[in-house]
Amino acid sequence: MEKTQKLNMIRSKRWIWIRRGICGALLFISFLLGFTWYANVTTSVSGEGQMYEDASLVSDGRVGLVFGCNPRVAGRENLYFTYRMVAAETLWKAGKVKGFIVSGDNSRESYNEPDAMKEALVARGVPVEKIVCDYAGLRTFDSVVRAKQIFGVRKVVFVSQRFQNERAQYMAKQCEIDAISFVAKDLAGRGGLKTKLREVLARPKMVLDFKLLATEPKYLGEREILPF
């Protein structure tokens, strides 16, 4: 009998610890889901009233910051890239920007987003002297922070799809940059699903970067004077 009681007590304690573990895991998952929801809602409302799809409504005299991506994916045209170039061309031809910073990844010699953007914009009629390449825009965070700290930008118009512009607007508020956004055409259906899912996770990471981690861009360097 005594041995049976001891076994029951051991099983009871084990079950208590299992329940505590399950409760702890559920609480942690609930926190992650709640924080992800908070970050996504907060980011979405950051751009309210600052997103424009009509170039005539964009205020004049700003620097355009175009976010980079690969011009081709799996050997095919990347429409995210193309639509951003179309949007930047629209702003330029409408006389809304002084010039552009094209910011993207050039972390390896064989991959160069800024030069690809520069080439595409020159082909669309933007003078080469009105384009400055930021080769250290490894992610949106780096591009926005470097725009202020390296290039001294105070008034900017972001050029990208709405999901990225919303995130950039949040960052601009944290960096005290006067920012608006010009919205490039987005991809519909399955073509943009993977990007949208990744965006859901990128937003909580962004909030942590500013509110908790005090993250800095991977590369900073010396100040650069824009030629426009």
Instruction: Give the three-class secondary structure for 96.
Output: coil
**Across 141-154, average pLDDT:** 96
User: What is the Cα–Cα distance from 44 to 166, expressed in whole angstroms?
Assistant: 6
pLDDT of 116 reads 97
CATH number at residue 140: 3.40.50.620
Lowest mean pLDDT among 27-36, 57-66, 98-107, 154-163: 27-36
Residue written as tokens 């100040």?
223
Q: How many CA atoms does the CB half-sphere of 13 hold within 13 Å? A: 5
Residue 67 pLDDT level (bands cut at 50, 70, 90):
very high
pLDDT of 43 reads 87
pLDDT of 113 reads 97
Q: Look up the pTM and report it.
A: 0.86
pLDDT of 4 reads 66
For residue 110, being part of any structural domain is answered with yes
User: What is the Cα–Cα distance from 150 to 221, expressed in whole angstroms?
Assistant: 7
User: What is the Cα–Cα distance from 214 to 99, expressed in whole angstroms?
Assistant: 30
Query: Parallel, antiparallel, or unpaired: how do β-strands 97-103 and 178-183 relate?
Result: unpaired
pLDDT of 10 reads 62
User: What is the Cα–Cα distance from 93 to 190, expressed in whole angstroms?
Assistant: 32
Above 70 in pLDDT, residue 142? yes
Residue 5 pLDDT level (bands cut at 50, 70, 90):
low
**Across 25-47, average pLDDT:** 87
Above 80 in pLDDT, residue 1? no
For residue 207, being part of any structural domain is answered with yes
For residue 35, being part of any structural domain is answered with no
Residue 6 pLDDT level (bands cut at 50, 70, 90):
low
Above 80 in pLDDT, residue 146? yes
Query: pLDDT for 72-86, tens place per residue?
Result: 988 899 999 999 999
User: What is the Cα–Cα distance from 125 to 123, expressed in whole angstroms?
Assistant: 6
Domain that holds residue 141: 51-211
For residue 122, being part of any structural domain is answered with yes
For residue 41, being part of any structural domain is answered with no
For residue 126, being part of any structural domain is answered with yes
Three-class HEC string of 167-196: HHHHHHHHHCCEEEEEECCCCCHHHHHHHH
For residue 8, being part of any structural domain is answered with no
For residue 19, being part of any structural domain is answered with no
Residue written as tokens 């949007």?
87
User: What is the Cα–Cα distance from 7 to 156, expressed in whole angstroms?
Assistant: 70
User: What is the Cα–Cα distance from 4 to 10, expressed in whole angstroms?
Assistant: 10
User: What is the Cα–Cα distance from 116 to 124, expressed in whole angstroms?
Assistant: 13
Work out how many domains the chain is built from and give that number.
Answer: 1
Instruction: Give the three-class secondary structure for 158.
Output: strand
Query: pLDDT for 166-212, tens place per residue?
Result: 999 999 999 999 999 999 999 876 666 777 888 888 999 999 988 88
Above 80 in pLDDT, residue 140? yes
Residue 179 tokens read as 């920012």
